[in-house]
Structure 1
Amino acid sequence: MPEYRAHLDFDISFVNGGGLSGTGFRLDLPSADLDEPAIAVLLIRHLGLALVDDVQLRSVRIVAESHRGSRGVDIDAPGGGVRIVDLSHRIHAGLTTYPGLPAPVITPHLTREDSRAKYAPGTEFAMDVITMIGNTGTYLDSPFHRYAEGPDLAGLDLSTLVGLRAEVFHLSDGLTAERRGIRRETLVDRDVRGAAVLLHTGWDSRFGTPEYAVGAPFLTGEAAQWLIDAGAVLVGIDSVNIDDTESGGERPAHSLLLGAGVHVVEHLTRLGEVPPRGARFTAAPPAVEGFGTFPVRAYAEVPA
């Protein structure tokens, strides 16, 4: 179904005095046929305002545009059921995920032709060997990736990896080369306790190119600490790293999140197809002992 947002300017006055004004504001709408009084109510609810006296809207335009997570806008799924959005990059021989790390190599262990001599007529199999670093494709970091005493992939609780409530922050139209860091203030309007926080930056469009590694968006350390304090159980991003790889080797987001037992998923894709709220997220790696990072088949279950 198409989604709609209102672009508007506003002036709000309060019963007990004072006022609030905004220009170029954007607000999610449940449909395209709302009148201005209904939009004013949504604006009040989204901003969390009390004791409002009057709302004056100006330059209101309703456009077809994906929702970004305005509060107070709930849309019931019309058909019931769910659709699956695959959020993982495909892995293939020669894939460059993170510049400087080795690409996967896929070689046959048993070809179909050779297998015919080992099985009954008409029966054949292919068995292949893949050699790759754990940081390949879309992958999950366990605490062991950063801390020797932290749980490895085999030590992770599946309940923190499967069917998590997803809070998706659509940030692709708000990040710039001058402001790449995702700040705490951008995240504080959501209840993220027990949730997978997924950061949609749009950087996945550069995946597999040299541009992917340069000027990438990242999560600031202050924002990572806020997510920990707010009770998030997993944080994912569609960028080259959850930290700023151009900061001289510092990794505050990794250090804080993994130190608190919060999983990190990097190199997600297609987050633009997942609504801000209402989806379920899964990203479970194999239970490999003594290993900290491994590819996942990350996906979202979205109300259909």
Structure 2
Amino acid sequence: MATAPSFRAHFDFFIRFANGGDLAGTGFRLDLPSADAGEDEIARLLVQHLGLALVDEVELRGLRIVEEPHRGSRGIASVGGGADAPDAATRVIDLSHPIRAGLVTYPGLPAPTITPHLTREDSRARYAPGTEFAMDIITLVGNTGTYLDSPYHRYAGGTDLAGLDLSTLVGLRAEVFHLEDAWTPERRGIRAETLADRDVRGAAVLLHTGWDRWFGQPEYGEGAPFLTGEGAQGLIDAGAALVGIDSLNIDDTESGGERPAHSLLLAAGVHVVEHLTNLAELPPSGALFTAAPPAVEGFGTFPVRAFAQVADAP
């Protein structure tokens, strides 16, 4: 039986890192999955092969694709993984902001109100002696606290909260990108190259920017980091199942109303979770992430109790 041909890329490269510094190489050779691999894919494979993190830009120079036997470059085969060590103790880390009356999540949106429907005192007349209950009414906009966006939030014909597949919301492999030093007030957008160093297929990609330290304060509403449209498309192309961020919005809210990350991710069926917290407590890989909203029909966004399960070494 004839063996399928193998292909390799020959090139020089220059890599700039989001947190400063750069890396250059000449005469580099890299195994390719096929002869028609594009320059963006080759750049991603290079980052994975070198095991680099916090990459900002990749420039390939003198690129040639030739038929050559593979030499075992990392990054061609997908890499599995998960937090399933049978003898490890598991910690649950809460990634949600508590909701309380008067909480301002997003400037300009109404804060939740909580009022009694039935007080404990009034309930005593309805139940047996010594038995009492409290029933309360909460009024809130769906964009309160830590919440999940479904496609219906952006698109009239998109899947609503009740239509979401629970298997895409529970126990997802988490790939956490710790990006506190990968953005600046002058360059707040998180780029595709910065997220290209790991396999994220089927994973919850969680962007730890550190902006959650301002949650509930006036500073939270301005100058927040965000995911660029190119970054969103890169995660879609890489097969991410969910993207979460600990910032004001997955998009730049100071861009005049454009929402490329929302538009691209939700059109592709990739869930969006905003206003996460405590991401600093998670390892880059190995945790399991859950964020499931109630099954509300005709509704696009609702608070979630997001959390991660982390297996400690035995």
* Residue 88 (1) aligns with residue 93 (2): no
Shift of 1:77: 7.5
Q: Distance in 2 between matches of 1:269 and 1:291?
A: 24
User: Equivalent residue for 1:252?
Assistant: 260
CA shift in 2, pair 1:11/1:245, >3 Å: closer
* Residue 129 (1) aligns with residue 142 (2): no
Q: Distance in 2 between matches of 1:256 and 1:192?
A: 17
CA shift in 2, pair 1:290/1:173, >3 Å: same
1:39-54 to 2 correspondences below 5 Å:
46-47=51-52
Q: Distance in 2 between matches of 1:141 and 1:17?
A: 42
Q: Distance in 2 between matches of 1:222 and 1:126?
A: 49
Q: Give the superposed CA RMSD.
A: 2.9
* Residue 297 (1) aligns with residue 297 (2): no
Q: Distance in 2 between matches of 1:206 and 1:17?
A: 44
Aligned residues: 249
Structure 2 counterpart of 1:46, which letter?
G
Shift of 1:303: 1.1
CA shift in 2, pair 1:11/1:203, >3 Å: closer
Q: Distance in 2 between matches of 1:10 and 1:226?
A: 22
User: Equivalent residue for 2:122?
Assistant: 114
Q: Distance in 2 between matches of 1:213 and 1:260?
A: 28
CA shift in 2, pair 1:17/1:172, >3 Å: closer
Quote the sequence identity (%): 76
Unaligned ranges ≥5, structure 2: 1-20, 30-48, 54-69, 72-78
Shift of 1:10: 11
* Residue 154 (1) aligns with residue 162 (2): yes
Unaligned ranges ≥5, structure 1: 1-8, 19-43, 52-70
User: Equivalent residue for 2:106?
Assistant: 98
User: Equivalent residue for 1:214?
Assistant: 222
Q: Distance in 1 between matches of 2:209 and 2:167?
A: 27
Q: Distance in 2 between matches of 1:111 and 1:196?
A: 41
Q: Distance in 1 between matches of 2:140 and 2:52?
A: 48
Residues 83 and 310, structure 2, Cα contact 8 Å, conserved in 1: no
User: Equivalent residue for 1:24?
Assistant: none
* Residue 264 (1) aligns with residue 272 (2): yes
* Residue 180 (1) aligns with residue 200 (2): no
Shift of 1:173: 1.9
SS of the equivalent of 1:106 reads strand
Q: 2:235 aligns with which of 220, 227, 244?
A: 227
User: Equivalent residue for 1:197?
Assistant: 205
Q: Distance in 1 between matches of 2:264 and 2:28?
A: 42
Structure 2 counterpart of 1:100, which letter?
G
Q: 1:138 aligns with which of 129, 146, 150?
A: 146
Structure 1 counterpart of 2:102, which letter?
G
Structure 2 counterpart of 1:168, which letter?
V
Q: Distance in 1 between matches of 2:28 and 2:301?
A: 55
Q: Distance in 1 between matches of 2:187 and 2:311?
A: 33
Per the normalisation by structure 1, the TM-score is 0.76
User: What is the CA deviation profile of residues 35-63 of structure 1, one whole-angstrom value per residue up to 9, with x for unaligned ones?
Assistant: xxxxxxxxx96359x99xxxxxxxxxxxx
SS of the equivalent of 2:51 reads helix
Q: Distance in 2 between matches of 1:11 and 1:98?
A: 39
User: Equivalent residue for 2:284?
Assistant: 276
Shift of 1:126: 0.2
Q: Distance in 2 between matches of 1:228 and 1:203?
A: 24
User: What is the CA deviation profile of residues 96-134 of structure 1, one whole-angstrom value per residue up to 9, with x for unaligned ones?
Assistant: 000000000000000000000000000000000000000
Q: Distance in 2 between matches of 1:103 and 1:191?
A: 38
**Post-superposition, which runs of at least 4 consecutive aligned residues in structure 1 deviate over 6 A?**
9-14, 74-79
User: Equivalent residue for 1:28?
Assistant: none
Q: Distance in 1 between matches of 2:24 and 2:236?
A: 34
CA shift in 2, pair 1:151/1:13, >3 Å: closer
Q: Distance in 2 between matches of 1:240 and 1:288?
A: 24
Residues 169 and 291, structure 2, Cα contact 8 Å, conserved in 1: yes
Per the normalisation by structure 2, the TM-score is 0.74
Q: Distance in 1 between matches of 2:139 and 2:23?
A: 60
Q: Distance in 2 between matches of 1:75 and 1:115?
A: 46
SS of the equivalent of 1:228 reads helix
Q: Distance in 2 between matches of 1:171 and 1:90?
A: 24
